[in-house]
A and B are shown apart, each in its own frame.
Chain A
Amino acid sequence: MKNHLQFDFLADKEKNTLTISREFMANRQMVWDCYTKSELLDRWFAPKPLTTKTKSMEFHEGGHWHYAMVEPNGTEYWGWIGYHKINPIDSYTSSDAFCNEKGEINTDLPQAEWVVTFTDKNENTLVETIVSYQSLADLETIIEMGMEQGMKATLEKLDELLLTLKS
């Protein structure tokens, strides 16, 4: 498949956290930019085949990123990331919530806290994201939200595609 870039995905079912570590073949400034500039986020944040579009971005402490992930059929899932602490280019913390096109946060749905850390790994960058939910049940709700019929079917197609690519 690809070269050996580190990718760890650890679910801690007791602490209700997911720790996702991924190495990228670029320097820290460039990777930081990809995570913190909306014009770059728009190009990778939504998993295929969805695309991302930004409504507003204010990357500073107390600021936010208001964005939507768009399905090929046009269905939009709006999200709001609120930025708490920012230490360029080392780390930042944020909260991740569902909202609507106006940016009104849906308080009925669970929110997650993110801690994102950037470290050098030789010439590459290692990004560690710790996603925390109040409970594992919250995490499942998030999954179910994103997993509307369409997306479920999409992931199944991705499975099939991966199978054909591997053979």
Chain B
Amino acid sequence: MRRDIFQAIADPTRRAIIALIAVQAMTPNAIAEHFDTTRQAVSKHLKILTECELVTQNHQGREIYYFLEIDKMKEIDHWLEQFRKIWESRFDQLDTLLATLKSQQK
């Protein structure tokens, strides 16, 4: 399941869909209007996004609205951020080491 998330966001159309419904929940038709592809293609994308729990559906009357699951998106950025912190920490240590080596050279 977790693997799918990253394949899901690797696709530019799906990223665009995410950006759209991040602002407000939309029906599949409303989403499809924003793209040059077919309604079917958009449905396929929505299915993938739903399968990896990035978006959920809400029925309102006869319409289905797609919502963005904010927490999942935060998860992705969260681990990128953790990775970045690891690098930041080791580089800070390298800074200190270089300063020590330079002072030893004098």
Residues of A within 8 A of B (CB): 2, 5, 7, 9, 11, 13-14, 18, 20, 22, 24-26, 30-31, 34, 40, 43-48, 135-137, 139-140, 143-144, 146-147, 155, 158
> Which residues from chain A contact B93 at a C-beta distance below 8 Å?
43-45, 47-48
Q: List 19 A-B contacts (CB under 8 A).
A: A7-B88, A9-B84, A13-B6, A26-B98, A26-B101, A30-B101, A40-B97, A44-B93, A44-B97, A47-B85, A47-B93, A48-B93, A136-B9, A140-B2, A143-B82, A146-B86, A147-B79, A155-B85, A158-B89
**Residue of chain A at shortest CB distance from B75:** A140
Look across to chain A and name the residue whose beta carbon is closest to the beta carbon of B91.
A22
Separation of A2 and B92 alpha carbons in the complex (Å): 10
Collect the chain B residues with CB atoms within 8 Å of residue A135's CB. Answer: 3, 6-7
The one of B9, B89, B98 in contact with A48, judged by C-beta atoms closer than 8 angstroms, is B89
Interface size counted on chain B using CB atoms at 8 A: 28
Partner of A143, one of B83, B94, B97: B83
Residues in A with CB closer than 8 Å to B84 are 9
Q: Which of B1-35 contact A (CB under 8 A)?
A: 2-3, 6-7, 9-10, 12
Tell me which residues from 64 to 106 in chain B have a Cβ below 8 Å from any Cβ of chain A: 79-80, 82-91, 93-99, 101-102
Q: Is the interface of A mostly helix, strand, loop or mixed?
A: mixed
A44 to B98 CA separation, bound complex (whole angstroms):
10
Q: In the complex the two chains form, what is the Cα distance from A144 to B79 in whole Å?
A: 8
Q: Which residues of A contact B86 (CB under 8 A)?
A: 47, 146
- Please tell me if the beta carbons of A47 and B89 are within 8 angstroms of each other in the complex: yes
User: Could you list which residues of chain B lie within 8 angstroms of chain A, going by C-beta atoms?
Assistant: 2-3, 6-7, 9-10, 12, 79-80, 82-91, 93-99, 101-102
A158–B80 touching, CB < 8 Å = no
For A26, the chain B residues whose CB sits under 8 A away are 98, 101-102
Query: Which 8 A/B pairs are nearest by Cβ-Cβ distance?
Result: A136-B6, A47-B89, A44-B93, A137-B3, A26-B98, A44-B94, A47-B86, A143-B79
Residue of A nearest to B83 (CB): A143
Could you say which residues of chain A place their CB within 8 Å of the CB of B82? 143, 147, 155
A136 and B97 CA atoms in complex are apart in Å by 32
Known: A26-B98, A47-B85, A47-B87. 7 other contacts (CB 8 A): A2-B95, A9-B84, A9-B87, A22-B91, A40-B101, A43-B97, A45-B93
